[in-house]
């Protein structure tokens, strides 16, 4: 079945440093979503990418979807302590045959930021 | 407005007992998903519904797990004859539709099987 891998598993940075997490799927995706989960919390939606090669920005966060729609990245510029948490990608695959679809989550990258 | 709610928030049960976990999605959301999340891992898909129809149950681990959404709103995930390996956080999420829509997650039910 579909697999979604994320690297690195953990990232420790000094406040102000940049951070990048990478997501790779074993199959071509219909879309990719990114979620953030704070310690003790639940996943919260950040953004969705649908088009091949798409790039979206949210303030200090930049999201990219690969040309082959099998990989994605999230880059945070100048991290702040509020960026702490686990970032998950979720690769969506939708079938026109079954008229059903689902997203497969990666295991996330946990970011810690040292003030 | 109200988000996704789940009950109970915590459930401790003895091995062999049945448990029922409830999810109340955001009003008007067609799609409802069940996930299981182990510590340090991402949400693992179990099953999902559009309205009352179960669209995909490929993630249910075995036939002890079942889910229903009889009126297209509230859903129940039932685990029969619980085993210690069933201990996990069970999360429910809902979305407007199953494609290209963000999922709103509930707070989860922490299940512990003794």
Confidence of residue A109 (pLDDT cuts 50, 70, 90): very high
Mean pLDDT, range B7-29, rounded to an integer? 97
Q: Which of residues 42-101 of B touch A (CB under 8 A)?
A: 42-45, 48, 55-56, 58-59, 91, 93, 98-100
Give ∠ CA B51-B56-B62 in degrees, rounded to 5.
125
Strands B31-37, B44-50: pairing kind: antiparallel
pLDDT above 60: residue B104: yes
Mean pLDDT, range A74-81, rounded to an integer? 98
- What pLDDT does residue A69 have? 97
Peptide bond into B8 cis (omega under 30): yes
3-state secondary structure of A107: coil
Which chain A residue shows the shortest CA-CA distance from B45? A104
pLDDT above 80: residue A102: yes
**Could you tell me which residues are beta bridge partners of residue B59?**
none
- What pLDDT does residue A9 have? 97
- What pLDDT does residue B36 have? 98
pLDDT above 70: residue A99: no
Dist. CA B114–CA B16, nearest whole Å: 9
């Amino acid at each position: 079945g579909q697999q979604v891998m994320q690297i690195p598993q953990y990232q420790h940075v000094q406040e102000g440093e940049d951070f990048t997490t990478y997501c790779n799927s074993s199959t071509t995706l219909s879309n990719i979503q990114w979620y953030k989960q704070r310690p003790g919390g639940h996943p919260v939606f950040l953004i969705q990418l649908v088009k091949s090669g798409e790039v979206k920005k949210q303030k200090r966060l930049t999201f990219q979807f690969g040309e082959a729609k099998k990989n994605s990245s999230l880059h945070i510029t100048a991290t702040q302590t509020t960026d702490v948490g686990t970032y998950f990608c979720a690769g969506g695959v939708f079938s026109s045959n079954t008229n059903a679809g689902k997203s497969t989550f990666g295991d996330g990258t946990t970011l810690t930021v040292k003030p | 407005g109200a988000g996704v709610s789940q009950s109970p928030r915590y459930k401790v049960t003895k091995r062999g007992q049945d448990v029922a976990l409830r999810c109340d999605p955001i009003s008007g959301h067609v799609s409802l998903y069940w996930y299981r999340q182990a510590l340090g891992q991402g949400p693992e898909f179990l099953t999902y519904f559009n309205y009352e129809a179960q669209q995909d149950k490929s993630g249910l681990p075995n036939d002890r797990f079942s889910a229903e959404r009889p009126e297209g709103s509230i859903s129940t995930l039932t685990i029969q004859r619980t085993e210690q390996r069933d201990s996990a956080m069970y999360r429910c999420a809902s979305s407007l539709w199953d494609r290209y829509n963000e999922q709103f997650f509930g707070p989860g039910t922490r299940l512990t099987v003794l």
